[in-house]
Chains A and B, each alone.
Chain A
Amino acid sequence: MAGIQTVTSQAVVLRSTNIDTDQIIPARFLSTTERAGLGQFAFNDWRWKTEGVPNPEFAFNQPHSAGRQVLLAGRNFGCGSSREHAPWALTDLGLKAVVSSEIADIFRNNSLKNGLIPIVLAEADVQTLMERPDDQLTIDVAARELRTPDGRTYTFPLDAFAQTCLLEGVDELGYLLARAPDIARYEASHAR
């Protein structure tokens, strides 16, 4: 995974709260043994009225949404299943960050492993940002800041390890494999 320093983009807004992983990618698209190419199924049941007929109301179908990399979403985004297919689908759709006042634990973990930055801000701040989706937002991972063109700066929490992983593209499995001596010691002292 390549490192990410900053993301600069306008935003797509999904105001619904509790957007669950079944909405992000419905279960019937999980019958795959691959991780690539899932963007076409992202938000499938909201994106299409019937097969092949897009729902023009849906934010991602509006022409100005094309190429936008930041999603502003209602509270408790990503609740539900542990499917990593959810961040796979969103990154395949071109998203680089999700901003919400609450992001579900497993989705958050899965996002970090796929270079999708989970950003939690106060509900009022998310609401303010949702009013101006056409603003060019800058997300600065090193500073843990989201900045707006009119000079507002929002600081978001990001665990130091997660930050390093994002900035340097650290591969968590590589990190764990390097702990092999510790793991061997643990196994020897807990033989069961």
Chain B
Amino acid sequence: MSPAPRTPAPRTLFEKLWDAHVVVPESDTAPAVLYIDLHLIHEVTSPQAFTELRARGIAPHRPDRTKGTMDHSTPTLPRGADGKLPYYTAAAEKQVETLEANCAQYGIELFDMGSDNRGIVHVIAPEQGFTQPGMTIVCGDSHTSTHGAFGSLAFGIGTSEVGHVLATQCLLQRKPKTMSITVDGPLAPGVGAKDVVLHIIGQIGVNGGTGHVLEYRGSTIEAMDMEQRMTLCNMSIEAGARAGMVAPDQITFDYVAATPRGPKGADFEAAVDYWKTLRSDDGARFDAEVTIDAADIRPTMTWGTHPGTAIAIDAPIPAANDAAAQKSLDYMGFEAGHAVAGTKVDVVFVGSCTNGRLSDMRDVARVLAGRKVAEGVRMLVVPGSEIVKRQAEAEGIDVIVRDAGAQWRESGCSMCIAMNGDLVAPGELAVSTSNRNFEGRQGPGSRTLLASPLGAAWSAVRGQVADVRELFDADQKEVA
């Protein structure tokens, strides 16, 4: 009698992606050699990697698998009358020029300042269709986790590793652990992906995901569009996780089908057949599991100096139970026992790879239409890419933003990291749709509250940290 056919052990989505990219398996004495399908580079973390390659006399192995853009150091103000871009420093300009030279020398496709498709690296790669389900994707940038929204294994690497990928298209990796985060149920009006991810980080902590790859699942996640899933996966790193991912589904396939550079025709059909297998099998085991009830998620913001300090906007700031929490409170100028709602706001920033996409711009317009930014509040709306900017302008969003008294800028990272001169002044309080509220992140001495685009825009109108539920009447209908 022949033995019964062995059914393969159930695997998680992560394990399927990992197994498909192992070039040399890991052993006790060495990490795995993992193949990288897509490598993204930008001006800040790549120059030293190219210098290293040159010093060794080697050229990139697969320049066709690397795509470059410039976003961190680039100005968001238009060219001056002299036709020159207003770079903040000569060093910033030199970084951009260095990237141009490196890409030109090695034949790497670059979305430069003259490109209609340039933008923040984690906005443009999905937009172009470079990001696809089933891929391994890396970039010298921690928010590479964004691309996990497509059911890819995507994570940030350091500059030495940028060199490794350029030289060999591979990385040395130990297999991380897995954690499932299941969110079920409908979200309340005014509550979106940003609130969901802030809530999750508030629950599991800034180190809750360390050593793990997160898989977001459940009906709440399945109901999200791709832009919301990107917002969610983007902030996985803020829970310390190596990566975050969502299994691809019809919503994912439709998104990729509409991109200019994704697979087409028979290639697309064949790809979808494969992509459909990219789900955690029934019975697959995760090293850790977290369950969240969507009904518990209210509009969420942070009170402290790391994203783990996320709380519901009307919840009291918790009492400081250690020196670090006290230091956070002192830095922010907040008192335990009070809610963040009602605090006077100086700056509002909408943008970044977390919330710089078209749906985010639409959320801002929804709030700002027919309203004004409060006196004394400086508001910047910065599209995540040139494409987002053009699409938003086609819908008249730039006009709504300007009419409300806010600034409509060129695309880039801008105030998220404050490297390009877009700064929050010392002591100023900013409500920002970006991902990090670390001390001084938006400029020396700046204070940051992380929020959704709706929350940020409504706070700009109110001139104080404000609850978006005020935008809805008792029947949960939006008030004009």
Contacts and interface: CB of A to CB of B under 8 A. Distances in A.
A184 B28 CA distance: 24
B167 A31 contact: no
Best-buried of B89, B98, B441 by chain A (most CB within 10 Å): B441
Given A17-B324, A159-B174, A179-B24, A76 B240 contact: yes
A175 to B, nearest CB: 7
A180 B91 CA distance: 36
B346 to A, nearest CB: 19
Contacts of B10: none
Nearest to B309: A18
Interface residues of A, number: 52
A121 B436 CA distance: 27
A51 to B, nearest CB: 10
A18 B29 contact: no
Given A33-B98, A84-B45, A179-B33, A23 B439 contact: yes
Interface in A72-103: 74-76, 79-85, 102
Contacts of B45: 82-84
Contacts of A20: 306, 436, 438
A31 B87 CA distance: 11
A152 B96 CA distance: 51
Contacts of A190: 35
A72 B439 CA distance: 21
Interface residues of B, number: 67
B86 interface: no
Nearest to A86: B158
A27 interface: yes
A182 to B, nearest CB: 5
A131 interface: no
A31 B95 contact: yes
B210 interface: yes
Contacts of B29: 160-161, 164
B129 interface: no
B33 A82 contact: no
A75 B210 CA distance: 12
B159 A104 contact: no
Contact of B441 (A27, A31, A84, A173): A27
B161 interface: yes
Interface string B162-173: 011001111110
Interface in A156-186: 159-161, 164, 172-173, 175-177, 179-180, 182-183, 185-186
Nearest to A176: B168
Contact of B240 (A26, A105, A114): A105
Given A17-B324, A23-B439, A173 B24 contact: no
Interface in A13-68: 15-18, 20, 22-23, 26-28, 30-35, 45
A79 B207 contact: yes
A8 interface: no
Contact of A105 (B160, B169, B242, B441): B242
Contacts of A27: 72, 417-419, 441
B339 interface: no
B332 to A, nearest CB: 14
B142 interface: yes
Contact of B164 (A32, A33, A164, A172): A172
Interface string B304-335: 00101000000000000011100100000000
Contact of B73 (A31, A110, A175, A187): A31
- Of A17, A45, A102, A175, the most chain B CB neighbours within 10 A belong to A17
A106 B142 contact: yes
A82 B142 contact: yes
Which 7 residue pairs spanning A and B have beta carbons closest together?
A84-B158, A110-B158, A82-B156, A33-B47, A31-B91, A84-B159, A17-B324
25 contacts: A15-B323, A16-B324, A18-B306, A18-B308, A20-B436, A22-B440, A27-B419, A31-B91, A31-B92, A35-B48, A76-B240, A79-B206, A83-B44, A84-B158, A84-B160, A173-B52, A173-B163, A173-B168, A176-B167, A176-B172, A180-B168, A183-B169, A183-B170, A187-B169, A190-B35
Interface of B: 23-24, 28-31, 33, 35, 44-45, 47-48, 51-52, 56, 58, 61, 72-73, 89, 91-92, 94-95, 98, 140-142, 144, 156-161, 163-164, 167-172, 174, 176, 206-207, 210-211, 240, 242, 306, 308, 322-324, 327, 417-419, 436, 438-441, 444-445
